[in-house]
Amino acid sequence: MGTRILGIESSCDETAAAVVADGCEILSSVVASQIDVHRKYGGVVPELASREHLRRIVPTVREAMELAGIPFSELDAVAVTQGPGLIGALLVGVTYGKVLASSLGKPLIAVNHLEGHVHAVFLQAHQEGKNPQLPAVCLIVSGGHTVLYGVHSEPVVPIRHAYDRAPSDRLHYTRIGQTRDDAAGEAYDKVAKLLALGYPGGPVLEQLAAYGNARAVKFTPPVTRGNPLDFSFSGIKTAVLRHVRAHPEMAGEIAAREESLKRGERKAEQLRPLCSVATLDLIASFQQCVVEDLVNRTLQASEEHAARSVLVSGGVAANSALRKEFEARAYDAGLDAFFPSRTLSTDNAAMIAAAAYPLWAVGAFAGTDLNAEAVMPLA
């Protein structure tokens, strides 16, 4: 029968619930996205997010249990995202998880959202019959985070040995680098906003970038003094803004796209005829600069930390150009690159239930005094 853990995720703008067996078999995974609620504000509005989580958490958990086909009584534990994230949003999941676990008489497990993103990679690899070798370097790249971790099998790794991880084995992390300003997904969203291409920006920019010349506009790659493995994306975003200001002829098409968005015509194929060649080139060049920067620093970290695999997770990991570049460059460096599927890349609860399994195995349970944490570093 195995160990079945219900995962609950509510850290940002997705209300999600999932049942995962033995940390690796997804029995169900339901994600209720709030994008339609936040779209007209061009970003996540924290108060609205909390309210939507409240509305959606009960039906989302019910649906996950129904799809898994097991009664609540057969769960082994309830796992919930403790942080990091929006405090009001997290509180909904944490409070609901606490009440559910105690009313069922089941253990409660607190999970770090970032550790969930790491486990999304292992979940996917397991489904493909693969097992990323450790030590690894993991890039978590989303709308809220851009951070590089070393992932090890032991808290201290005196000998860097090859290691096949079992789903119940705990992972240990060291932080190698992080963004000093915007997250990469946030840069996508801000660039999309200033070009009137809707929210969230990533998927539309990715599709439009395919029609532009990525070498047309020269961006200076970000420099992060002190730690060259840190990231910085606000400079690229500002460079796009300056480029638009220097080309006043772009104002007309921006206004036309704003009208298109107001009519609800926000798909890439609806917006593309409203984009000049210059705009498509700008988008392609922006994406190229972001992708190259993410890949360069991650591979440099992999070399410095003698990694055997490269793991990439978070919303931006859904980007095909990023995946292609990582696969090619990691291959050249003699490394395997691993990604979650697109649905496991963005926020979900299967990754939370999977990350809870090693904690379940060692009895690391949370008490009823568990609190949500807006700031919660993994390492």
Interface ranges with Zn ion (CB under 5 A): 142, 347
Complex with ligand KG4: residue 23 or 144, whichever CB lies closer? 144
Complex with Zn ion: residue 90 or 268, whichever CB lies closer? 90
Amino acid at 280: L
Q: Is 233 in the site for ligand KG4 (CB under 6 A)?
A: no
Cβ of residue 12: shortest distance to ligand KG4, in angstroms?
5
Cβ of residue 132: shortest distance to ligand KG4, in angstroms?
20
How many angstroms separate the Cα of 3 from the Cα of each of 46, 103, 189, 302? Answer: 34, 19, 39, 34
Q: Is 203 in the site for ligand KG4 (CB under 6 A)?
A: yes
One residue of 65, 79, 196, 318 binding ligand KG4 per CB under 6 A: 318
Among 347, 352, 349, CA closest to 67: 349
One residue of 188, 233, 286, 326 binding ligand KG4 per CB under 6 A: 188
Sign of CA dihedral 239, 242, 246, 248: positive
The tokens for 87 are 């405090």
Beta bridge partners of 232: none
Residue 202 binding target from ligand KG4, Zn ion, none, CB below 5 to 8 Å by type:
ligand KG4
Cβ of residue 369: shortest distance to ligand KG4, in angstroms?
26
Residue 163 three-state SS = strand
Cβ of residue 3: shortest distance to ligand KG4, in angstroms?
26
Sheet order of strands, 25-33 included? 25-33, 14-21, 4-9, 77-83, 108-112
One residue of 271, 319, 335, 339 binding ligand KG4 per CB under 6 A: 319
Residue 177 binding target from Zn ion, ligand KG4, none, CB below 5 to 8 Å by type:
none
Q: Is 340 in the site for ligand KG4 (CB under 6 A)?
A: no
Complex with ligand KG4: residue 22 or 189, whichever CB lies closer? 189
- DSSP H helices, the chain, are 35-38, 46-68, 87-104, 113-127, 184-194, 201-209, 234-246, 251-262, 268-271, 277-304, 320-332, 342-345, 350-361
What is the contact mask toward ligand KG4 in residues 347 to 376, using x (rule: CB under 6 A)? x-----------------------------
Query: Interacting stretch for ligand KG4, rule CB under 6 A, among 95-103, 141-149, 170-178, 299-307?
Result: 141-149
One residue of 143, 177, 212, 340 binding ligand KG4 per CB under 6 A: 143
Complex with ligand KG4: residue 12 or 214, whichever CB lies closer? 12
One residue of 88, 177, 315, 340 binding ligand KG4 per CB under 6 A: 315
Q: What gap in Å lies between CA 169 and CA 354, rounded to an integer?
A: 11
Q: How many residues bind ligand KG4 (CB under 6 A)?
A: 20
Query: Interacting stretch for ligand KG4, rule CB under 6 A, among 125-133, 202-210, 213-221, 222-230?
Result: 202-210
Phi, psi of 77 (to 5 degrees): -165, 160
Packing angle, helices 234-246 and 184-194, rounded to 10 = 10
Q: What gap in Å lies between CA 87 and CA 294, rounded to an integer?
A: 28
How many angstroms separate the Cα of 230 from the Cα of each of 7, 91, 226, 233, 294? Answer: 31, 30, 9, 10, 10
One residue of 83, 84, 116, 185 binding ligand KG4 per CB under 6 A: 185
Question: What is the total residue count of the chain?
Answer: 379
The tokens for 157 are 């790794």
The tokens for 158 are 């005196």
One residue of 206, 230, 325, 373 binding ligand KG4 per CB under 6 A: 206
Complex with ligand KG4: residue 249 or 269, whichever CB lies closer? 269
Q: What gap in Å lies between CA 289 and CA 282, rounded to an integer?
A: 11
Q: Is 200 in the site for ligand KG4 (CB under 6 A)?
A: yes
DSSP state of 319: -
One residue of 201, 212, 222, 358 binding ligand KG4 per CB under 6 A: 201
Contacts (CB under 6 A) with ligand KG4, residues 240-269: none
Cβ of residue 87: shortest distance to Zn ion, in angstroms?
15
All residues at 6 or more sequence positions from 249 whose CB lies less than 8 Å from its CB, including other chains: none
Point out which residues bind ligand KG4 (CB under 6 A): 12, 142-144, 185-186, 188-189, 200-203, 206, 314-316, 318-319, 346-347
